[in-house]
Structure 1
């Protein structure tokens, strides 16, 4: 049993910050950390007082991906757990991030590799520290992508660039990540946590019920036809038009005051 708390949770301003906390191992993913992260994400999704989520790492790394020491040790011991981790951990984690009915912000404070990078790709917004970088390292260990990277990465940067980054396993620094569209903003290292919280807090104070529908419709648009997308937009607008947040926004606009959203 680990003697450290491998996942830290903090709440403020409607924002829940989840910090992967294995800094000496670059926050690489052990079974314990994966299980804790999945549980914490599910809890955040279901907790009404949590209106936005920040995912980050402790120390100098965001997440180095799978903990290969644990992986190799289990395989050598004849344990098949590593062969089940995609189905039991990585896929559910990414599904929970993508399906989260509230915004998820990745604060990429350092290197993000493999599944760690894929977790960031699955988030709605990505802020990167100037010292951070991204690496699709799967080919280096004789594996293909997992954690949804084959779906999320090419939607961020296009098929050709995604293929290059996966086949060549080339490291992308923060500035290139910004140019490619992998991240929305690059921040001085010491200011990343504050900036990420500020953006998440702004989202938390917004119309979160609308954010949930925006994410839902974007998901449909990413994989469906125009007609299916139009239908999804129509249904979302009909539902949102009946919300208290919409009425509040319209009344605030007419009264020339700032709206107060309640996510209802």
Structure 2
């Protein structure tokens, strides 16, 4: 899927702050408690290849190992967030090579997605231009997804004679319902940004020119919040579909016990009682 949108990549450009460093086809920055992972193959509209899969896996590892991580922002450089797999690379491979290539890429990419899902900090994903195929996997990992006006969403696997990766067949039935998921798969349905918001794929739509500033502002707000409580919240939400109510209530009790003993809980309660703004330290 292609898009003519020329929205800027969200958030600050990867730099040389603490924890920063070059990764294959991925920009990474970590400063002031916020990690920024940016897909960085703009000439291919951030098509996923082996190098990018490696870069995302390593970026996810850095996030998991980062001391003091309080929020993560994921964005894409250039005219699109990601058009999915790199068809040019697939077309050059023989049938045997293509099968091995896709399996290897999927294994690397899926490791990255699992690590992002397991993070103890909230994730903001800022998308623009186009989000297709495997690129949707990063959207599923996020707690909040901001979409620029004009963004288009599609799976596109059926047009290539492929099944799917990136967790689409697991996440989509839970997010949009099985019938709508089937429509995306079998009818090659393309969604506008506002349709994606209506279906529950994104949190909200923002003007294309504001996606950079708005997504960074959201990440900063989350980074200033009670990080350990946010960690418990995201794990409870992500696990809710796989537990019975009885088991989930027990998980809520354990999470409440853990957060009640934190310094941020003491600060939040004191601030509420004192009618002032809380100042959370993420501990």
Specify the alignment match of 1:130 in structure 2: 149
Mapped to 2, the partners of 1:154 and 1:93 lie a distance apart of: 21
Matched, 1:9 2:28: yes
Q: How far off its partner does 1:256 sit?
A: 1.9
Mapped to 1, the partners of 2:91 and 2:205 lie a distance apart of: 35
Mapped to 2, the partners of 1:215 and 1:179 lie a distance apart of: 22
For residues 209-239 of structure 1, give each alpha carbon's deviation from its aligned partner in whole angstroms, at most 9, with x where no partner exists: 0111111111221111111111110110111
Q: Which has the higher contact order (CA 8 A, sep 6+)?
A: 2
Partners of 1:15 and 1:197 within 8 A in 2: no
Partners of 1:220 and 1:228 within 8 A in 2: no
Q: How far off its partner does 1:13 sit?
A: 4.3
* 3-state SS of paired residue (1:258): coil
Specify the alignment match of 1:105 in structure 2: 124
Specify the alignment match of 1:84 in structure 2: 104
Mapped to 2, the partners of 1:219 and 1:78 lie a distance apart of: 35
Partners of 2:24 and 2:51 within 8 A in 1: no
* 3-state SS of paired residue (2:75): strand
Mapped to 1, the partners of 2:116 and 2:94 lie a distance apart of: 29
Q: How far off its partner does 1:186 sit?
A: 0.7
Unaligned runs of 5+ in 2: 1-22
Pick from 218, 221, 232 the counterpart of residue 202 of structure 1.
221
Specify the alignment match of 1:188 in structure 2: 207
How large is the RMSD of aligned CA atoms in angstroms? Answer: 1.7
Matched, 1:167 2:186: yes
- The equivalences for 1:175-254 within 5 A come to 175-254=194-273
Partners of 1:45 and 1:102 within 8 A in 2: no
Q: How far off its partner does 1:74 sit?
A: 3.7
Specify the alignment match of 1:25 in structure 2: 44
Change (3 A) 1:46 1:137: same
Partners of 2:136 and 2:166 within 8 A in 1: no
Q: How many residues align?
A: 260
For residues 68-103 of structure 1, give each alpha carbon's deviation from its aligned partner in whole angstroms, at most 9, with x where no partner exists: 2222334458472323322x2122122112111111
Q: How far off its partner does 1:53 sit?
A: 0.8
Matched, 1:121 2:140: yes
Partners of 1:220 and 1:232 within 8 A in 2: no
Q: How far off its partner does 1:12 sit?
A: 4.8
Partners of 1:13 and 1:201 within 8 A in 2: no
Mapped to 1, the partners of 2:88 and 2:95 lie a distance apart of: 11
Partners of 1:122 and 1:148 within 8 A in 2: no
Pick from 59, 62, 65 the counterpart of residue 40 of structure 1.
59
Partners of 2:26 and 2:55 within 8 A in 1: yes
Q: Where in structure 1 do 4 or more consecutive aligned residues deviate above 4 Å?
A: none
Q: How far off its partner does 1:132 sit?
A: 0.7
Mapped to 1, the partners of 2:32 and 2:185 lie a distance apart of: 38
For residues 2-59 of structure 1, give each alpha carbon's deviation from its aligned partner in whole angstroms, at most 9, with x where no partner exists: xx96212234543222111111111001111110111112211221233111111111
Mapped to 2, the partners of 1:74 and 1:261 lie a distance apart of: 52
Pick from 73, 87, 106 the counterpart of residue 54 of structure 1.
73
TM-score, with structure 1 as normaliser:
0.93
